[in-house]
Amino acid sequence: MSLKLNKLENYNGSKGPLLLIIMDGVGFGKHDNSDAVYLANTPTLDKLLQSKLQTKLKAHGPAVGLPSEDDMGNSEVGHNAMGGGRIFAQGAKLVQSSMDSGAIFNSNAWGKVMDRTYRGGTVHLLGLLSDGNVHSHIKHFEKLINECATRKVHRMRLHILLDGRDVGEKSAISYIQPIEELLKSVNDKNGFDYKIASGGGRMITTMDRYQADWSIVERGWKAHVLGDARHFSSAEEAVQTMYNEDPKITDQYLESFVVVDQNDKPVGKIKTGDAVIFMNFRGDRAIEISQAFEDKEFDKFDRVETPEVFYAGMMEYDGDSHIPKNFLVEPPAIDRTMSQYLCAEGVTSFAISETQKFGHVTYFWNGNKSGYICKDFERYVEIPSDKIEFDKAPRMKADEITEKSIELLKSGKYKFGRINFANGDMVGHTGKVQAAIEAVEAVDQSIEKLLAVIDELKGIAIITADHGNADEMFTVKNGKKDPKTSHTLNLVPFIIYDPSNNIQIKMTDVENPGLTNIAGTVLNLLGFENVEDYEKSLIQIL
């Protein structure tokens, strides 16, 4: 399909480059002691927020394609929205709709799962067990358990990854107990054999992303497939034991574990002839475990055993590489992204972040498609993330990202650049207030240096965020602080910085502006008309 942008009649773009700076996880909080963004010393951001060229954007719920206003935004849908310019129904909404209509149970992949059970295979449900609705939802587990019971599936095993990140940091047992009750009910009623078989904290077990630490996936493989991890008689016992051993530990960092029978034998290793469904609908932390199950030439770690199973994802996690090969729900079809239009017009651009968010400024930004759109006009730079708990080094790779970005800007090769600073989000997820303050300050210092270069090159900068996180580090219940490690429902900043007065503009009165309005705004600032069916631009050229 041929793509074409029309040039604006009264503006050809700035003299220098246009730089989009995404402060991951930095929203507008309550301006109290729970708000690390407010508590941080941020002279650059404070000054920017005095500008007339700024507004606040929605980054959650229907504004980014999620079901309701109660659904937190996340980096995946946020970058889809910014890069795609339109609202697309996202994972949580698509999966729920498919379950409500029953379409998921008419898919080819579901039929193949059932075929395995008819031949005596076990159904394994593997995924994040919580109601955070960012990567998965416990209701989806319940729906599949009940459907399997209805279809007389006699044997099922659950491999549960514990959250503590998109939900309360020590809430695992509150999700394990109702699932155990459901499994017991199914077993008692039908004489079936449904059990929890293994698990572990999401930052320790299975859910690595962007190949940051394959040992996380290896630990998951050992627990789920080999039955090689700490032994416990139940998942609840595993969690409570680890709580007792280390009162400061949180769910996302709990060790891998295996549930065993009275003879200390694992109750549910994944074996040849079985079917495995990965329950997460979000792609970034689902790709690597999918590769471990599917790749014949897999070499990231020694799998020891490679059972022949039918493996299916809740969704397709990578549309270009077709990972996994089988999936239950069709992903959102995001076409005609901003980058596709810019490449078609020969506009040079770069994208840069550290490993933790590199896929967001590339894969998710480009509509869930890996690789370059056109290498002739694009440059992607990944700064390797440190393999360390983020509160231990809250600056993360902000300095290295800034240094490399300045080099790219000064090269004169690029008309548009986009940066993601992961600090506010990744450190915000730790629940450590002081570390989050330091993280936000590091981003502010980096922005100051970048804006100095924009000044020098007579360019324009946009400063925004993909969702909130560090802006709400705890809540108070019954007078007690409860650490909050999840994203927030808060609005995020959108600021245009144009010190050279490249363009005479004013902010428009867009009703309920959100992240999808950014694409049209970027196109205008580059000297192009907005795409006809993109969401409205946030600016009016005078």
Instruction: Answer yes or no: do 420 and 439 share one domain.
Output: yes
Instruction: Answer yes or no: do 127 and 254 share one domain.
Output: yes
In a domain, 2, yes or no: no
**End of a domain among 304, 329, 354?**
329
Backbone torsions φ then ψ of 257, nearest 5 degrees: -145, 160
Residue 143 burial by Cβ neighbours in a 10 Å radius (0-12, 13-18, 19+): middle
In a domain, 1, yes or no: no
**492-497 and 460-464 strand pairing:** antiparallel
31: containing domain:
18-90+333-541
In a domain, 283, yes or no: yes
Instruction: Answer yes or no: do 123 and 257 share one domain.
Output: yes
**310-315 and 327-329 strand pairing:** parallel
Instruction: Say how far apart CA 402 and CA 358 lie, in whole Å.
Output: 14
Reply yes or no on whether 174 is catalytic.
no
Instruction: Answer yes or no: do 64 and 129 share one domain.
Output: no
CATH code for position 183: 3.40.1450.10
In a domain, 97, yes or no: yes
pLDDT at position 108, please? 96
In a domain, 60, yes or no: yes
Backbone torsions φ then ψ of 482, nearest 5 degrees: -120, 110
Instruction: Report how many domains make up the chain.
Output: 2
**End of a domain among 329, 350, 379?**
329
Residue 149: which of 189, 195, 198 has the closest Cα?
A: 189
Please state, in angstroms and as integers, the Cα–Cα distance from residue 404 to each residue in 193, 247, 496, following that order: 55, 41, 22
CATH code for position 29: 3.40.720.10
Instruction: Say how far apart CA 255 and CA 362 lie, in whole Å.
Output: 32
Instruction: Answer yes or no: do 282 and 391 share one domain.
Output: no
Instruction: Answer yes or no: do 75 and 97 share one domain.
Output: no
**End of a domain among 329, 353, 368?**
329
Instruction: Answer yes or no: do 535 and 439 share one domain.
Output: yes
Cβ partners under 8 Å of residue 388, min gap 6: none
In a domain, 285, yes or no: yes
Please state, in angstroms and as integers, the Cα–Cα distance from residue 434 to each residue in 24, 33, 391, 424, following that order: 17, 11, 9, 12
Residue pair 367/124 in contact (Cβ under 8 Å)? The answer is: no
Instruction: Answer yes or no: do 355 and 384 share one domain.
Output: yes
Q: Which residue has the tokens 């590339």?
A: 362
Residue pair 315/333 in contact (Cβ under 8 Å)? The answer is: no
pLDDT at position 1, please? 62
Of the residues 75, 98, 353, 486, which is catalytic?
75
Enter the tokens of residue 122. 């076990």
Q: How many helices (H) and strands (E) does the chain have?
A: 16, 19
Enter the tokens of residue 446. 């980096």
Instruction: Say how far apart CA 39 and CA 50 lie, in whole Å.
Output: 18
Residue pair 82/57 in contact (Cβ under 8 Å)? The answer is: no
pLDDT at position 317, please? 85
Instruction: Answer yes or no: do 230 and 296 share one domain.
Output: yes
Instruction: Say how far apart CA 223 and CA 89 lie, in whole Å.
Output: 34
Instruction: Answer yes or no: do 176 and 203 share one domain.
Output: yes
In a domain, 347, yes or no: yes
Instruction: Say how far apart CA 230 and CA 266 lie, in whole Å.
Output: 10
Residue 151 burial by Cβ neighbours in a 10 Å radius (0-12, 13-18, 19+): middle
Instruction: Answer yes or no: do 360 and 259 share one domain.
Output: no
Instruction: Answer yes or no: do 184 and 224 share one domain.
Output: yes
Backbone torsions φ then ψ of 125, nearest 5 degrees: -105, 120
* Regions in the chain scoring below 50 on pLDDT: none
What order do you get walking across the sheet with 123-128 strand by strand? 230-232, 257-259, 193-201, 155-162, 123-128, 275-278, 310-315, 327-329
Residue-wise pLDDT tens digits, 392-406: 999 999 999 999 999
In a domain, 6, yes or no: no
Q: At what angle do helices 138-150 and 172-190 cross, to 10 degrees?
A: 10
